[in-house]
Each structure stands twice: as C-alpha cells, then as structure tokens.
Amino acid sequence: MLIEEVKRVGMDYGIFERLRESWSWWQRHVRARAHVRIVADDDCDGVTSAFVVGTVLERFGHKVDFKVMLVHSPADVDVAMAEPRDAYVILDMGSATLDRIDSFGVPTLVLDHHRVHDVEPKHTFEVNPRRVGGDKAAHVSTSVLAGLFAATVDEKHWDVSYAGVAGGISDRQHLGGFKGLLGYLADGAAARGVLQRSKGLTLVGDTVLSAVTDSLDPFFEAYTGKPEAARTMLKRLGIPPEQSPVDVKGDAAARLAAELEGALRKRGVVVDRMYPLDEERFLLPHVPAVPTVFALAQLMEATTAAEAHDLAFGVLRGEPGAIRHAHALHDRRQEGLLKEAARLRDKKQELPNLRWAETIDEANTGVYAHTLLTFVYGDDKPFLIVVKRGSDAKMSGRGSSRLYLKGVDLSIGMDEAARHVGGHGGGHPGASGATVPYEKRDAFLERLSEVLGRLRRGPV
Ligand SMILES: [Mn+2]
C-alpha cells in the first residue's frame, strides 16, 4: 500500500506530515547525546511503542531509559517526569494530560491515539491521529505511529516495524482487515522482508489442536478447552492435530475456518467483526521461535499482563530465553483464563436486562465479560463481571454496538445505578465499569437492569 492510497481513503489523518514535523522539531530542541526518558503505557501497545522509539533514539545517539506506567492524571505526570531528563517521550497516553506535561518546560514528544484536548503546548509535540480523524480514527495504534516515526527518521529503521504491527494487532486495530496506517506499516514491512506474507490459519499455537482448544478470542463453545472434541473434528476434516498451525494453508485452512466460523455464526456471533480464521498471518522470518506477528502479539499480551516488561522487551529483541519464558507465562495464563471462563459460564446469573457472574480474578474481568458476551451467551443483554475488592464490588461490563443502536448505553446505566447506591461508574457505551459498596451489589445490579430496560428502544 502506498501513502497515496492511505490518503485517498482519508485514513492518514495527516500523520505522515505530522511525524516529519515531529522529527525536525526533535532535532531542533534535543541535543545530540541527550539523556531521554521514555514513559509508556503498561499494555502491549505501549511497550511495543517504547521498544520501537527507544531503538531509534538509541541508534541516533541518545541515552535512553524506560518507565512503564499509566499516565492518566496530572499526579501521574509528576511521577513519570520526577527524575530530570533532557527530554521525554510519552507513548500511548499523554494527550489527556498535555498541559501538565508541558508545564515541566522540557522537550517532550507525545505519541497517542486517545482522546485529544484543546491545549496549545510550548515545549511538547503531540502526534495524535484524532486531531484530524476525531473519534472515527481507525486502524492506528500508538505502536503504528511509532513504527511510522521510525521509518520517518530513517529508512533503515523499518527493521523494527514488526513490533509496531504486533502492537496494532494487540490493540485490535486489524479487525476488519489490515487497512489504513496499520495496513501501510504491515505492507511496508512485507515489502522490505521484515514480515513475510503467508495466508492460512490465523490461530496461534504449538499445534493446530492446541491453537483451537486454547482459543479464547474467539471462544469456540464446542472445542475451547475440549481436546477430544477438537481432535475428532480435525480428523474429520483431514487435518493432522499435531501439525503446526502455520502449516495449515490452502484447502485445509479454508475447511477448518468454514467449520469454526460456521459454528460461531450459528451462535449468533457477528463473524464479520473478527479477523478471519483463514487470512494473512505475516510470518516473522527474523525472530527465532516466534512464527508470526500474531504469535508475537500473543506473547506480548502475556508478558505485559504479568507486568514482566523487561521480558517483553527481550521477546521483541528476539532473545530465545525471553521467548521461552514468555511462552511459559502465556501457557499458564491461558490455562487460568480458560478454567475461570468455563467456571463463570456455569455460574452465570440473569436479570431481565443483563447477565452477570462473580470472579476473584481482578486482572482479567474485561476478558471474561467480552468472551461470555460475544461467544457464549450472545449480545442481547450486556454481561457484567463482578469482583470483590475490600468492602467494594468492582463491576466490569461489556455491551455491543447492536445494543447501543437500540439505546443501551452501558456507561449511562453504570453511572446512574452506581450513584443510586453511593458508588461511581462510567466509561464507554460498550465497555464500562463501576465501583459500589459490596453490600449494595444486588441493589446495584437490579437498578442497572431497570435503567438498561428504560434505555432500550424495542426488542434487541
Ligand atoms: Mn493503544
């Protein structure tokens, strides 16, 4: 894909020009050999971004150190920028706290793709596709911006673009296809041999059997966590269960994808919103033991979920020990997630306008809510995961665009029901949370069901 093509469909958001400006601004304001602090969000998008930008700045001659933390409030900025540096880079966040960042008077580059605010900073250069694209900006994560920044600084930095693509996948920017800026980055990486095109089964695993039975997103009701059923199905389709999923291509991949996607469709899953199961995988020819960029994204998710950020950097550098360790982390995490998802499925409770279940796994409430809503119970009602923390109940809810179109805005419901019982809540229409006194849990849920029923226009 050429820059002109991305521009023609209006999905460049002025980013190519903005990144060129950002690099000349940086060279004007930051001296050679400067000591630079990179502060990155603690998820896969943030850490891959830090790896890419850090690599570029180190090659340029800067001394670089990293701090992985959330910067969502002015107080967070004060922590992130407490140790003096010649310059800072803030990744996958910063647009919400631009004025506080700027108040330090130190040259700071912000790459972010979250909501922008009306600020005119003096010492800070912000690159954010939402400045042009607003809330419609799509197919771009901060790691994509980082990859494009690297390519802007020098053609030779395309060698780290694979990390930008992995971050984009983890941020779900590839759903609906590799388009826009992510598509441009992936195509550019493929054109330079950093990635290698290969169409086939997109599920990740050591074997095609484990790729199917370990899959949570999508969650296959008939096969996830059910090796015997999956083995029988693979045999029926003539696919050796122990084969590597990377080798499942052509007719075999098409048969398996049709089987699995057909089963999802029967359950009412909107398959068009997923990445197809038989599609481009983008092989990683230069990273040993990590076959595809999807496998890399999975390892990055496992390491960042465990807050093992050094390990995540090691994986991105292709270190065999780090990759082995990350694999073990992934397997352990996946086992726990599958077990708990199955338990929550069986413990599900239902009110007229919502379903809910209670877990003790506070770190993955969003994963469970998404899985149970999208792949198990269907999106005719939002799904809430409840977790007890001290004397509070923390709620994490997921809705869908279908519900939202019917007026069911979960953030409004969460806010109103939480305030009703002396808590607080909010977020997005399809993904929102609340914290309420634990003893008021049931009153909150009943009120939420009422509010959601009131919001809904007609049957879903
Ligand atoms: Mn992000």
Closest CA relative to residue 429, chosen from 458, 460, 456, 403: 403
226: Cα separation from own chain's centroid: 27
| Average pLDDT over every residue of 419-446 | 95
- pLDDT confidence band for 2 (50 / 70 / 90): confident
Instruction: Based on the fold, state whether residues 71 and 148 are members of the same structural domain.
Output: yes
Q: Is 396 exposed, middle or buried (0-12, 13-18, 19+ CB in 10 A)?
A: buried
User: Is residue 262 included in any domain, yes or no?
Assistant: yes
The total of other beta-carbon atoms located within 10 Å of residue 207's CB is 16
User: Is residue 460 included in any domain, yes or no?
Assistant: no
Residue 189: what pLDDT? 98
- pLDDT confidence band for 100 (50 / 70 / 90): very high
| Average pLDDT over every residue of 422-438 | 93
End residue of a domain, out of 291, 311, 341: 341
Instruction: Based on the fold, state whether residues 162 and 258 are members of the same structural domain.
Output: no
End residue of a domain, out of 315, 341, 367: 341
Residue 460: what pLDDT? 67
Give residue 92 CA to ligand 1 midpoint distance, Å. 5
pLDDT above 70: percentage of residues in the chain: 100
**Would you say residue 1 has pLDDT above 80?**
no
d(CA 141, CA 17): 17
Give residue 163 CA to ligand 1 midpoint distance, Å. 13
User: Is residue 265 included in any domain, yes or no?
Assistant: yes
End residue of a domain, out of 293, 325, 341: 341
CATH number of residue 80's parent domain: 3.90.1640.30
Instruction: Based on the fold, state whether residues 364 and 438 are members of the same structural domain.
Output: yes
| Average pLDDT over every residue of 16-28 | 98
Closest CA relative to residue 433, chosen from 452, 413, 403, 451: 413
Give residue 243 CA to ligand 1 midpoint distance, Å. 34
Instruction: Based on the fold, state whether residues 39 and 155 are members of the same structural domain.
Output: yes
Give residue 138 CA to ligand 1 midpoint distance, Å. 11
Instruction: Based on the fold, state whether residues 164 and 235 are members of the same structural domain.
Output: no
Q: Which residues of 308-317 are buried (b: 16+ CB within 10 A; e: fewer)?
A: bbebbbbbbe
**Would you say residue 132 has pLDDT above 80?**
yes
Token output for 273: 């919103």
Instruction: Based on the fold, state whether residues 28 and 71 are members of the same structural domain.
Output: yes
| Average pLDDT over every residue of 343-359 | 97
- The DSSP call for residue 114 is S
Token output for 228: 């015997």
User: Is residue 257 included in any domain, yes or no?
Assistant: yes
Token output for 405: 């179109």
Give residue 449 CA to ligand 1 midpoint distance, Å. 31
Q: Which domain holds residue 70?
A: 3-190
User: Is residue 271 included in any domain, yes or no?
Assistant: yes
Give residue 87 CA to ligand 1 midpoint distance, Å. 22
**pLDDT tens-digit map of 222-275:** 999 999 999 999 999 999 999 999 999 999 999 999 999 999 999 889 888 899
Give residue 142 CA to ligand 1 midpoint distance, Å. 5
**Would you say residue 451 has pLDDT above 90?**
yes
* 269 vs 357: which has the higher pLDDT: 357
**Would you say residue 458 has pLDDT above 80?**
no
Instruction: Based on the fold, state whether residues 148 and 33 are members of the same structural domain.
Output: yes
User: Is residue 239 included in any domain, yes or no?
Assistant: yes
Instruction: Based on the fold, state whether residues 29 and 70 are members of the same structural domain.
Output: yes
Instruction: Based on the fold, state whether residues 218 and 241 are members of the same structural domain.
Output: yes
- pLDDT confidence band for 288 (50 / 70 / 90): confident
- pLDDT confidence band for 427 (50 / 70 / 90): confident
CATH number of residue 444's parent domain: 3.10.310.40
User: Is residue 327 included in any domain, yes or no?
Assistant: yes
User: Is residue 243 included in any domain, yes or no?
Assistant: yes
| Average pLDDT over every residue of 115-144 | 95
Instruction: Based on the fold, state whether residues 20 and 159 are members of the same structural domain.
Output: yes
Residue 272: what pLDDT? 84
Give residue 171 CA to ligand 1 midpoint distance, Å. 6
User: How many separate domains does the chain show?
Assistant: 3
Instruction: Based on the fold, state whether residues 179 and 204 are members of the same structural domain.
Output: no
Give residue 441 CA to ligand 1 midpoint distance, Å. 32
Give residue 280 CA to ligand 1 midpoint distance, Å. 22
Instruction: Based on the fold, state whether residues 172 and 215 are members of the same structural domain.
Output: no
